[in-house]
Amino acid sequence: MKLYDYFRSSAAYRVRIALNLKGVVPERAFVHLRRNAQRSEDYLALNPQGLVPMLVADDGAVLTQSLAIIEYLDEAYPAPPLLPAAPTERARVRGIALEIACDIHPLNNLRVLQYLKNTLGVSEEQKDAWYKYWIDVGLEALETRLARDPATGRFCHGDAPTLADICLVPQLANARRMNIDVAPYPTLTRIEAAAIALPAFVDAAPAKQPDAE
């Protein structure tokens, strides 16, 4: 199994956490996003979307999209489970994960920011304001939802880490990297503190990766 990774990618960070929780150690390849390696001919031949992460499974299957990769890992390596057993609980966890992965993260992706700046000509300040705005809109809704829902426990769902926490931790790291104040999100930061006490989360952090700069 080979993971195409980049230390600062929050989508790849999700997959690294899942691999660590499962105790699976893949071969690694590093795709330097700042140098546009994701748009090289070789990489696009494997993944026409030009995004990381990508996982090439042992049978040669090329898997893309962090959530699909994580669900593959959960099915191939069932322990510990990353989704609860009951259908409504699974849907809740997926809903939280998708809130982050579909409604926050894509708005702040490198190619979107590059388009804003290089094609639409927005200033650095306007680009940063866009970044902060969409993170705050997303985190505010997630904070409200998790704070009032009794299904929230030590983690986003109950007392064990799930797909939801796997998405939350990289998104908060991303917000912090952009100097966004996370103090208005006490439930999210409480859950983050519980998660980053676990070696699987610690070892997946951007600064700990071999390609970290």
Q: Give contact residues for ligand GSH (rule: CB under 6 A).
A: 9-11, 33, 38, 50-53, 65-67, 101, 109-111
Considering the complex, what minimum distance in angstroms separates the CB of residue 65 from ligand GSH? 5
Considering the complex, what minimum distance in angstroms separates the CB of residue 106 from ligand GSH? 6
CA dihedral 152, 153, 156, 161 (to 10 degrees): -150
Of 135, 133, 131, 48, the C-alpha closest to 99 is 135
CB of 88 or CB of 118, closer to ligand GSH: 118
Rounded to whole angstroms, how far apart are CA atoms 24 and 77?
9
Considering the complex, what minimum distance in angstroms separates the CB of residue 48 from ligand GSH? 13
Rounded to whole angstroms, how far apart are CA atoms 124 and 132?
12
CB of 152 or CB of 174, closer to ligand GSH: 174
Of 159, 193, 151, 161, the C-alpha closest to 82 is 161
CB of 65 or CB of 152, closer to ligand GSH: 65
Backbone angles phi, psi at 80, to 5 degrees: -80, 150
CB of 14 or CB of 157, closer to ligand GSH: 14
- Number of neighbouring beta carbons within 10 Å of residue 39: 12
Considering the complex, what minimum distance in angstroms separates the CB of residue 46 from ligand GSH? 13
